[in-house]
Amino acid sequence: MTFPGRFSSLPDYVFPRLRKLLDGRAPGAEPFDMTIGEPRHGMPDFVAEIMAEEVGGFARYPKNEGTEALREAIAGWLGRRYGAALDPDSQIISLNGSREGLFHAALALCPEEKAGQRPAILTPNPFYGAYTLGAPVLGADLHFVSATEETGYLPRFDALPEELLQRTALVYVGSPSNPHGAVASMDYWEALLGLAERHGFTVLADECYSEIYRDVPPPGAFEAMQRAGTDPERLVVFNSLSKRSNLPGLRAGFAAGGKDAIARMKLLRAWGGAPLPGPIQAVAARAWSDETHVEGNRLLYRQKYDLADEIFGEVPGYAPPEAGFFLWLPVDDGEDAAIRAWEGQGLRILPGAYFARGDADGVLPGTGRVRVAMVAPVDDLRGALHRLRDVLYD
């Protein structure tokens, strides 16, 4: 049988790659998983109650774009958080997790050609995997833009050649970023949106970690758009309840942006999307309307930031994460560090290079880093981080 070659350059996804690396190796202690960004804090108290009240909704087909109550709740949250005045009917679409939207946005919004050439899609490097799949499907050129210590862990799109920017159709950027935890400043967002205006591309802003931070809320792309007076069609923002509300299994996310962009995403989703079941939409509407559980969640992560700073603060090259819940720790070699952590202490961590591709000069960003998820309860995490320091640095 002949299969399409468009995905032939894709490596195994990060978790199967790690299993191949560690399979057959015995853990040196009771296994402790620090790989997946799956929040382990408690769900909001109202989830079970609302799900039970709305259980009859499983007998009906759900609304593809999201119920009116859900879209209004999302619009209300965006207004409170960013001062954004969005029309819930035409500028917001419910998603089955933000990853779905990050992929489908490329299919819906990338033109067949740009400036008379093959379009380009830009992504940070290292990156979240969903950013990279649209280009091979569309036949677009995918360009990886380094996001390393030298660039403040955010890609410098303004340093790219004019020729590339002219044919750029879409730019992915995450803030707070995965895997680094870097936060884009208001100036960064304004400069990027200005670049989008000048060169006619759309910014796809992944803000899924926006509500997990140390002290100051990360600026958002919608704030910058309003301050700079950017055309709303130059921006689509993605977020979800996975991290904010400890509900990764709910798969409740959204995309918000210009009316034309959202209309195109709605059209594509009407033909091939998977809408959220009604009871889940009801839970999501309540979650976007409640901040109490989010504030409590954030306090727990602040304890983890302090713990990480205490344990790794004297490690050369340690950079305290500004936001999110990952540590991006310096090592000599990521795969070797992952093996030593597993065989020495039973700890599963991810080599940083698994989140990256080699650049034009053959450099693979993240080779000297590992990503560590601080999602476990604080008391469990404390012992695991001490063990990790012992095996990696002592």
Average pLDDT for 327-343: 97
Taking the C-alpha atoms of residue 301 and residue 215, their distance in angstroms, rounded to an integer, is 11
Taking the C-alpha atoms of residue 219 and residue 223, their distance in angstroms, rounded to an integer, is 7
Average pLDDT for 199-226: 96
> Do strands 252-257 and 235-240 pair parallel, antiparallel, or not at all (unpaired)?
antiparallel
Answer yes or no: is pLDDT of 360 > 70.
Answer: no
Q: What distance separates the 2 farthest-apart alpha carbons in the chain?
A: 58
For residue 372 the two structure tokens come to 């560590």
Q: Tell me what percent of the residues of the chain surpass a pLDDT of 90.
A: 85
- Mean pLDDT of all residues in the chain? 94
Average pLDDT for 59-64: 90
Answer yes or no: is pLDDT of 365 > 70.
Answer: yes
Which residue type occupies 158? D
Answer yes or no: is pLDDT of 44 > 90.
Answer: yes
- The 3-class SS string of the chain reads CCCCCCCCCCCCCHHHHHHHHHCCCCCCCCCEECCCCCCCCCCCCHHHHHHHHCHHHHHCCCCCCCCHHHHHHHHHHHHHHHCCCCCCCCCEEEEECHHHHHHHHHHHHCCCCECCECCEEEEEECCCHHHHCHHHHHCCEEEEEECCHHHCCCCCHHHCCHHHHHCEEEEEEECCCCCCCCCCCHHHHHHHHHHHHHHCCEEEEECCCCCCECCCCCCCHHHHHHHHCCCHHHEEEEEEHHHHCCCHHHCEEEEEECHHHHHHHHHHHHHHCCCCCHHHHHHHHHHHCCCHHHHHHHHHHHHHHHHHHHHHCCCCCCCCCCECCEEEEECCCHHHHHHHHHHHHCEECEEHHHHCCCCCCCCCCCCCEEEEECCCCHHHHHHHHHHHHHHHHC
Residue from 310, 174, 301, 156 nearest 243 by CA = 301
Taking the C-alpha atoms of residue 98 and residue 39, their distance in angstroms, rounded to an integer, is 16
Average pLDDT for 187-197: 97
Give the pLDDT band (50/70/90) at residue 5. Answer: confident
Taking the C-alpha atoms of residue 186 and residue 180, their distance in angstroms, rounded to an integer, is 18
pLDDT score recorded for residue 8? 75
Taking the C-alpha atoms of residue 371 and residue 93, their distance in angstroms, rounded to an integer, is 31
pLDDT digits (tens, 9 = 90+) for 153-166: 999 999 999 999 99
pLDDT score recorded for residue 377? 93
pLDDT score recorded for residue 156? 95
Average pLDDT for 112-127: 94
Give the pLDDT band (50/70/90) at residue 77. Answer: very high
Residue 230 phi, psi (nearest 5): -70, 145
pLDDT digits (tens, 9 = 90+) for 217-243: 999 999 999 999 999 999 999 999 999
Residue from 209, 219, 220 nearest 246 by CA = 209
pLDDT score recorded for residue 363? 79
Average pLDDT for 100-119: 93
Give the pLDDT band (50/70/90) at residue 297. Answer: very high
Give the global pTM.
0.95
Residue from 368, 358, 378 nearest 331 by CA = 368
Residue 277 phi, psi (nearest 5): -60, 150
Answer yes or no: is pLDDT of 7 > 80.
Answer: no
Q: Tell me what percent of the residues of the chain surpass a pLDDT of 70.
A: 99
Cβ neighbour number for residue 289 with a 10 Å cutoff? 15
Answer yes or no: is pLDDT of 9 > 80.
Answer: no
pLDDT digits (tens, 9 = 90+) for 258-273: 999 999 999 999 888 8
Average pLDDT for 109-135: 93
Residue 370 phi, psi (nearest 5): -130, 150
